[in-house]
Structure 1
Amino acid sequence: MPVLERLKQFIIEKNLLTPGDRVLLAVSGGKDSMLMAKFFHDLNVDAIVAHCNFQLRGEESDKDEKLVVEYCEELGFPVLLRKFDTEQFAAKNKISIQMAARQLRYEWFESARVTHNCSVIAIAQHANDHLETVLLNLTRSTGIQGLLGIQPKRGFIIRPLLFLSALEIAQLVDKLKVPYRDDQSNFSTKYARNKIRLEIIPKFKEIQPDFETIILQNIKHFEESQQFIQRQVESIRQSIFQSQDENIIILKDLIRPYLQESYLLFEIFKIYHFQRNVIEDLISVFDQGMGQVFQSQTHELLLSQNDLIIRERAEDRIIDEKIEKLDSKIKLQDKLFSMEEGHEIEFSDDKSKVQVDQDLLKFPLTIRTWNQGDSFKPLGMEGSKKLSDYFIQQKINRFEKNTVPILVNADGIIIWVLGMRLDNRFKVTENTKKVLTLVYK
């Protein structure tokens, strides 16, 4: 099959492009990216070219830039150029030159993609890059995911040449007379990826001449295995995860059968970015660690008596509102706190409204969230009670209790846990002269 037909088939199979997409082509001047530019020209794709000059190889970097501009303009593509002081950026951010170049180019590519209304960014990595990535990931803690190598599409990045080997690309460049320049740093074994390509893979080929073909076949098997695992994991998620408001609720009895399989639990919770060691910590305190919170970069998980609750991470909503006078109105998230003077005594079960003896209030009042050690004398109960114990009694979990507003007198005494319970000391009695109605709706 002609190579352009193979390319079109790969693009369709991997859903890399849709009709009308504009593509940002990342072209360095090397064989792979210059061939990619030629292919996209021959396919008559709407595209623009982006070239980074990292200024790491002096005159050689400038020659790369010149070749890219001349060839891509000959193909009819507009060319965007960007020079970077890569060494200065690396030193300032205390990262390697390779990491600096990667960060600089991908940030610029994304900015250019948006500015020039491109749907995707095309990177010219090929099948050998795919293989090298898998071998490199074997030296890291990446699990099965790392054995899948480079994905044809991730976010706005596509890799349309993954179906071609390095040998095929070299033959096609020669056949089609595509100009290119070799970056001599690609032949230095001080970089891990180059060492794999130049030293390690040749050793494997001494043992198995078809090593590259066999590894690519194995990568396909890894992909199939991963897809099977993810189907099973998703089926479990569907059966045990319940949505409730903005949270995910998991009954402990439903998760208990999987406690002996830490890897499976890790996969189940991985969509919320919990690390393997965090899941192992959760398992170790599953029946003793009530109230403990476990965190990922994006979410937090609360271990309660009967269930697990997952929510997006958010800074604690710290409430600290001062009330200087009686006619104040305070907006608290989606509710409003207000005071109404001169009402007759009412008897109601409505927890959003309470009546207090106005003469007992000392301004300024404060509405805040609970503090460690807070206590009050709940109306209808004997003696004092720690607020934390009261929340437990009312089945208010740790996530919820950090959002409950509390009205506090100027002398520090709690007047009302808004929407829940009045303090006994502020109730209306037969000696009350002024009734004040507090409303939280």
Structure 2
Amino acid sequence: MFQQFTKYYQQHSLITLDDRVLVAISGGADSVALCHLLQKIPIPISLAHCNFSLRGEESDEDERFVQQLAKSHHIKAHFITFQTREYANQHKISIEMAARDLRYRWFESLCQEFGYTKIAVGHHLNDAIETIFLNMIRGTGIRGIAGMAPINGKIIRPLLFATRQQIETYCSTEGLDYRHDSSNDSDEYQRNKIRNLIVPEFKKMNPSFEETMQHNMAKWNQVLRIYDQVVETELAQWVKREGQTHKIEIQKLIQHHHTETLLFEFLSPFGFSNDTIQKTGLSLTKEPGRQFFSETHQLLIDRQFIMVEPLNQDTASFQIHDLDGFGQLSVSIRAEMVMAYNYSINHSAMVAQIDADKITFPLTLRHWKAGDSFYPLGMKQSKKLSDFFTDAKLDRFTKDKIWLLESAGNVVWVVGLRMDDRYKITSKTKRILLLTSEW
């Protein structure tokens, strides 16, 4: 396998002798094999292991396995523990998406701190096939059916040439111990259903299904490269750049034969979701002045242009002048005004039930900063947000994404986590501002 491995990473220019590689290692066969193969190349590697707190003692045993592997091979290793289910619930995403978000953010922070130039992950051919099916189920464009790329920025996938079975055979031949993730045996997750139920049916019809898909992905990636070249040419023609502002003329965009595709390719690199891009398209001629926000950028639909510019996350502050203002945020918050008479209290942290007569518009939505404090619902004393986050066991990636809703300089709601006690509804409340976080 080493010869195939060498040929593959050289063919796709995945690794150079100047690289410092961070290897994502779970302890499973694929990542253990990847580590073993990379050790045969004269480049420095380090390991990064995430404990996602999803399988109790089994997760802890995985971590101890990697610790021992790193120690026995004298390899520097980094370890972190995430509260993945809490993160998924807070962001209303799947467990799989939460784990992906958490680990890649951490990998990137390690690269910045320690100077790693590449992040090697153990994805193999079967992973790539399963990902295509997942993308088709969720809805996808051409990139989703092209499979996993061998390289994407810092992320490299040197094992995409190999099947799961070939990797396990390599581990057996080389005498490599590895951990078995019992969650892979369950059909609770979509990927497992595809792996355990759907792909075997295709293999019954075509015993060489994996090889066929490998050829298909190679063809689709060639098509994707042509598509990317056309998109790049189109965007260069239509998008104007003024400093950090990117803008595209609305009338010309509407007249384009492929408005929806061009709009998607213009906005998605700035972090705007499919839903936000669709709302933007529907607002082109109807709602000048409407704004949308991604985590890194803000979008303004002017009378003539769609304009996109970066946010400064530390100082980003959005004014909400009325109920309709909530609908213009990518931080998805549904707002309605209800009468207190016969209202049944909702105990979800994702819902804020605010005494409407205690707040003053415009409200402000911003990220939290050091020194912020509030009166957590049910408490009569002020508490620093930093202490509140510590008690809630939030990791720093989650904290960086927290939004605060303010009225007249006071925190009304730590969005999706806790209301301020001063703004709660009481027996004297007449009107309730009902806010539901959908992020």
- 2:305 aligns to what? 308
Any idea what the Cα deviations from partners look like across 1:240-298, whole Å, max 9, x if unmatched?
Answer: 33334554454567545415653345435544556667666666776x65844464522
> SS at 1:160's partner residue?
coil
- Name the structure 2 match of 1:353: none
Equivalent residues in 2 for 1:18-97 (5 A)? 18-84=16-82, 86=84, 97=95
CA distance in 1, matches of 2:251, 2:45: 55
Distance change >3 Å, CA 66–CA 274, structure 1 → 2: closer
Deviation larger for 271-280 or 79-88: 271-280
Question: C-alpha displacement at 1:226, in angstroms?
Answer: 2.0
Q: Which residue of 2 aligns with 1:118?
A: 116
The equivalent of 2:135 in structure 1 is 137
Which residue of 170, 173, 176 maps to 2:171?
A: 173
Q: Which moved more, 1:99-108 or 1:140-149?
A: 99-108
Alpha-carbon distance in 1 for matches of 2:286, 2:82: 51
In structure 1, the partner of 2:222 is 224
Structure 1 residues 217 and 74: CA distance shift in structure 2, 3 A? same
SS at match of 2:203: helix
Q: Match for residue 429 of structure 1?
A: none
Deviations 1:374-408 (A, max 9, x none): xxxxxxxxxxxxxxxxxxxxxxxxxxxxxxxxxxx
Shift of 1:227: 1.8
Q: Distance in 1 between matches of 2:30 and 2:129?
A: 16
What is the letter of the counterpart of residue 43 of structure 1?
Answer: I
Partner of 1:171, secondary structure, is helix
Correspondence for 1:204 among 202, 205, 224: 202
CA positional deviation for 1:312: 0.9
Classify 1:150/1:244 alpha carbon distance in 2 versus 1 (closer, same or farther; 3 Å). same
The CA distance in 1 between the partners of 2:102 and 2:263, in whole Å, is: 36
Partner Cα separation in structure 2 for residue 25 and residue 67 of structure 1 = 15
Cα offset, 1:186, TM superposition: 1.0
- Correspondences of 1:1-400 after superposition (within 5 Å): 3-84=1-82, 86=84, 97-248=95-246, 250=248, 254-255=252-253, 257-259=255-257, 261-268=259-266, 270-272=268-270, 289=286, 291-293=288-290, 295=292, 297=294, 298-304=297-303, 307-312=304-309
Structure-2 change in CA distance of 1:281 and 1:206 (3 Å): same
Q: Distance in 1 between matches of 2:247 and 2:90?
A: 44
Identity %: 33
How many Å apart are 1:134 and its aligned residue?
Answer: 0.5
Q: What is the match of residue 394 of structure 1?
A: none
8 Å CA contact 2:263–2:281 kept in 1: the answer is no
Unaligned runs of 5+ in 2: 320-439
List per-residue Cα deviations over 1:18-48 (Å, max 9, x = no partner): 3222222222221111111111111132112
Deviations 1:61-110 (A, max 9, x none): 34433433333333331333344555566667666554554444334433
Residue type at the aligned position of 1:67: F
- Is the 1:263–1:276 contact (alpha carbons within 8 Å) kept by the matching residues of 2? no
TM-score for both structures, normalised by structure 1: 0.61
Q: 1:316 to 1:213 in 2, by over 3 A?
A: same
Determine which structure has greater relative contact order: mean sequence separation of CA pairs < 8 Å that are 6+ residues apart, divided by chain length: 2
2:161 match: secondary structure: coil
Mapped contact 2:121–2:155 kept (Cα < 8 A): yes
SS of 2:39 mapped into structure 1: helix
Q: In the alignment, which residue of structure 2 is the partner of 1:363?
A: none
Cα separation, partners in 2 of 1:116 and 1:279, compared to 1, 3 Å: closer
TM-score (norm 2): 0.61
Which region of structure 1 is more displaced relative to structure 2, 178-187 or 79-88?
79-88
Tell me, yes or no, if the aligned pair for 1:259 and 1:265 is still in contact at 8 Å.
Answer: no
- How far apart are the structure 2 equivalents of 1:196 and 1:231? 32
Which segments of 5 or more consecutive residues in structure 1 lack a partner in the other structure? Answer: 319-441
Displacement of 1:224 in angstroms is 1.8
2:76 maps to amino acid: P
For the Cα contact (< 8 Å) 1:31–1:180, is it kept in 2?
A: yes
CA distance in 2, matches of 1:85, 1:284: 38
